[in-house]
Chains A and B, each alone.
Chain A
Amino acid sequence: DTEVTQTPKHLVMGMTNKKSLKCEQHMGHRAMYWYKQKAKKPPELMFVYSYEKLSINESVPSRFSPECPNSSLLNLHLHALQPEDSALYLCASSPGLYGGPDTQYFGPGTRLTVL
């Protein structure tokens, strides 16, 4: 099973709202990722968690706050977003095999619209 689940599928929020995106995997993977994808563009890496510790933050604004409560769960907390943050937010996971092929598997994404 190579399934990564994400909830919700769609989210509409105002600029003053606080919301969270959730990602879950049960493959025993130890690396988890958040990506942002704008229309007709490839995914852009936002954050990487390795063994539940934040290892990469690609200069993402502080209105995006990741959290990794345990090795199976990854959250992205959203606060005071801007309309330009509207995008498809993708979660991925990989075994965490540093130095090996370490294939990433993606979830279906959350389509976020900021009004």
Chain B
Amino acid sequence: DAKTTQPTSMDCAEGRAANLPCNHSTISGNEYVYWYRQIHSQGPQYIIHGLKNNETNEMASLIITEDRKSSTLILPHATLRDTAVYYCIVRDAGNYQLIWGAGTKLIIKP
């Protein structure tokens, strides 16, 4: 079963920051939070991951709360090409499996 809950869908205006929330209240100490996105009919694209600390890369920032029970993916300047389904995933460091939730359909509007 999925260990994450996300909003089913969200809208964001082009050029604005898109903030995608994720709840993972049952996360354990050795589980990583991963974010992937999937543009229609393409393979999932890795975005970012974190364990405890906030992380930033060229695509996005990941903010993890201190109790690690939730996180937020931030796309700083959303473009139309960021329209996709965004998956928040919890993964045990000792396990190959990614536990996928249903994802958030993010629609960027002009």
Contacts and interface: CB of A to CB of B under 8 A. Distances in A.
A26 B34 CA distance: 23
B contact residues, range: 20 to 34
Interface string A89-115: 010101000111111111111010000
A101 B49 contact: yes
Interface stretch (B12-20, B64-72, B95-103): B95-103
Chain B interface secondary structure, helix, strand, loop or mixed?
loop
A39 to B, nearest CB: 9
Contacts of B34: 103
Contact of A43 (B41, B44, B96): B44
A106 to B, nearest CB: 4
A35 to B, nearest CB: 9
Q: Which of A50, A100, A101 has the most CB of B within 10 A?
A: A101
